[in-house]
Amino acid sequence: MFTIITGSQFGDEGKGKIVDLLSTNYQIVVRFQGGDNAGHTIIAEGKKFKLHIIPSGILSQSRLLVGPGTVMNPEIIVSEIDNLAKSNIKITPEKLGIDAKTSIIMPYHIQLDELNEIARQNKIGTTKRGIGFAYIDKVARDEIQLADIIDKHRFKQRLEKLLPQKKEAIASFGGDSDKIDGDWVNRYIQLGQTLKSYITDVSYEIHNALEDGKNVLAEGAQGTYLDVIHGTQKYVTSSSTIAGSACANLGIGPTRVTNVIGIVKAYITRVGEGPLPTELGGKIGDQIRKNGGEYGTTTGRPRRCGWLDIPMLRKAINLNGYTQLVLTKLDILTKLSPVKICTGYKLNGKTLKYPPLQTHELANVSPEYTELEGWNQDITNIKHYSELPGAARDYIQYIENVAKIPITSISLGAGREQTITKDKI
Ligand code: GDP
Ligand code: IMO
Ligand code: MG
């Protein structure tokens, strides 16, 4: 079985929690795009783990893989491995494999990301992790791969060609190009030696696992509307975040996919700039942010919050080919009455049921809402769907009816046990 999980909104839908939960049924959990711009939270046995690049299957028996379509900061992955060791979670080469072709995020990528953000008149609000510049180098064929940093001579040879070019780019932004002459090169060579034993051929491993009848779970980072092709350009990340990207980035043909799970938060959030049609200012927005702990896992920035947006969900289902949805953070809507759902938009006098093609049009829509009755009962300890208040079930049913695919699980709290099943996954 090959399952792909992606976020259906702007990221932070609760992918980490759901991947952790499902990973017990999968022999492999693999990241296929993005880098440490991602922040995936797992809570188990009272302990909180925030993962940026290691896949969210750390607590299960599954093997974890980082695919070649990701961009990896070696300092971050090594510190994640070290921090997990402090919690007695041993991330050995038997547990974790990293593809030799994984792009390495270099210090100059981070410097350029910061400088570019400062220079932009209309900010994107990136995580400043160097993600965009690492992907630029991939398509420009100037990337450094993991295999390069473990070979000292090859690495130094590559840098001889690249560093003058990077110095020029940094200087053109008015940045300090002398920073590049720091001693980070030796540190990277050291990190390469630490990571050497983790190198693997991710595509081959997954193929072999599928041939042997094993289960593989591909864990998306970010969300559908941050997709570099289909998202809200230019307010997007620099990788393709939709389900099809898992196939291309892992080298697994689309014929191998068994199911595609979309994670939908019961409301919507966005961190960084760009349109968010249902954004709530004022008291309700503040209440959702506070109760939902809606602050960036990676940057700590407050997330912008809004009502659930059905036109965006419709498009996300199309873009990803979802076979089922998991609804998260339903508990955060408790005591909000009425609960609103955006069912369409008004744009230039017309009613739309689907997001307009262009980002500037999406920024100009006026959302139209349906109001549903709320519920006041604490739902965080409910164990069966039938025990949910009628209004909460109506909310779920409403989404299912418009989505036309099943909501198989509902998350009622950050803990593993705070998840109820509607239908079998
Ligand atoms: P991801 O990037 O999609 O993995 O999501 P994040 O980890 O960045 O953000 C989701 C946050 O919500 C984390 O702090 C989770 O622990 C928490 N969370 C996940 N599901 C639920 C839920 O159903 N209810 C509540 N209250 N919190 C949840
Ligand atoms: P997870 O995996 C939410 C956003 C940034 C910014 C834009 C571009 O935790 O859901 P980048 O640094 O990628 O060039 O920034 O994308 N962004 C995320 N927002 N969750 C994420 O990841 C994100 N990763 C990037 O805030 O708006
Ligand atoms: Mg996150």
Q: Which of 265, 246, 260 is nearest to 10 (CA)?
A: 265
Which of the four pLDDT bands, split at 50, 70 and 90, describes residue 425? very low
Give the model confidence (pLDDT) of 360-382 as tens digits: 999 999 999 999 999 999 999 99
Look at the alpha carbons of 8, 11, 12, 17 in this order and tell me if their dihedral is positive or negative: positive
Determine the atom of ligand 1 nearest the C-alpha atom of 291.
26
User: In the block, which residue shows the tokens 């039938």?
Assistant: 386
**What pTM was estimated for this model as a whole?**
0.97
Burial degree of 218 (CB within 10 A; 0-12, 13-18, 19+): buried
pLDDT tens for each residue of 110-130 = 999 999 999 999 999 999 999
Q: Please say if the pLDDT value at position 160 is more than 80.
A: yes
- Is 421 annotated in some ligand binding site? no
pLDDT for res 360? 97
**Best mutation site among 42, 72, 138, 271 for ligand 2 pocket (most ligand atoms within 8 Å of CB):** 271
More confident residue, 411 or 46: 411
Q: What is the mean pLDDT of residues 149-160?
A: 96
C-beta 239 within 6 A of ligand 2: no
Ligand nearest to the CA of 47: 1
Please state the atom number of ligand 1 nearest to the C-alpha of residue 419.
23
Question: Which residue CA neighbors atom 5 of ligand 2 most closely?
Answer: 126
- Which atom of ligand 1 lies at the shortest distance from residue 412's CA? 23
Instruction: Compute, in angstroms, the gap from residue 166 CA to the centroid of ligand 3.
Output: 30
Give the separation between CA 323 and CA 260, rounded to whole angstroms: 5
148 is catalytic: no
Ligand 1 binding site (Cβ under 6 Å of any ligand atom): 7, 11-17, 39-41, 43, 293, 297, 328-329, 331-332, 411-414
User: Region 187-206: what's the mean pLDDT?
Assistant: 98
Kindly state the percentage of the chain with pLDDT values over 90.
Answer: 95
What is the 11 CA–ligand 2 centroid distance (Å)? 7
**Which ligand 2 atom is the nearest neighbour of the CA of 226?**
16
Our answer on whether the CB atom of 105 is closer than 6 Å to any ligand 2 atom is no
Please give the C-alpha separations between residue 324 and each of 14, 35, 422, 424, in angstroms, as whole numbers. Answer: 15, 26, 11, 10
Res. 423 pLDDT band, cuts 50 70 90? low
3-state SS of 106-172 is CHHHHHHHHHHHHHCCCCCCCCCCCHHHHHHHHHCCCCCEHHHHCCHHHHHHHHHHHHHHHHHHHHH
Report the pLDDT averaged over residues 175-197.
94
Q: 239-276: per-residue pLDDT in tens? A: 999 999 999 999 999 999 999 999 999 999 999 999 99
Residue 355: CB within 6 Å of ligand 2? Answer: no
State the chain's mean pLDDT as an integer.
96
Measured in Å, residue 374 CA sits from the centre of ligand 2 at: 31
**424: pLDDT strictly greater than 50:** no
Domains and CATH numbers, the chain: 2-99+199-260 (3.40.440.10), 103-195 (1.10.300.10), 264-320+328-421 (3.90.170.10)
Q: What is the pLDDT of residues 75-109, one digit of tens each?
A: 999 999 999 999 999 999 999 999 999 999 999 99
422: preceding bond cis by omega (within 30 degrees): no
Q: Which two tokens stand for residue 386?
A: 């039938």
Residue 415 pLDDT: 95
Give, using CA atoms, the residue closest to atom 6 of ligand 2: 126
Rg of the chain (C-alpha set): 22
Average of pLDDT values for 200-226?
A: 98
pLDDT tens-digit profile of 16-56? 999 999 999 999 999 999 999 999 999 988 899 999 999 99
Kindly report the protein residue whose alpha carbon is nearest to atom 27 of ligand 1.
414
Span 134-157, average pLDDT = 97
The one catalytic residue in 20, 40, 52, 230 is 40
Q: Which of 105, 104, 98, 53 is nearest to 202 (CA)?
A: 98
Instruction: Enter the tokens of residue 155.
Output: 């690495």
Q: Whose CA is nearest to atom 11 of ligand 1?
A: 14
**Ligand 2 atom 26 nearest Cα:** 272
Note the pLDDT tens digit of each residue in 291-340: 999 998 778 889 999 999 999 999 999 999 999 999 999 999 999 989 99
Say whether 40 is catalytic. Answer: yes
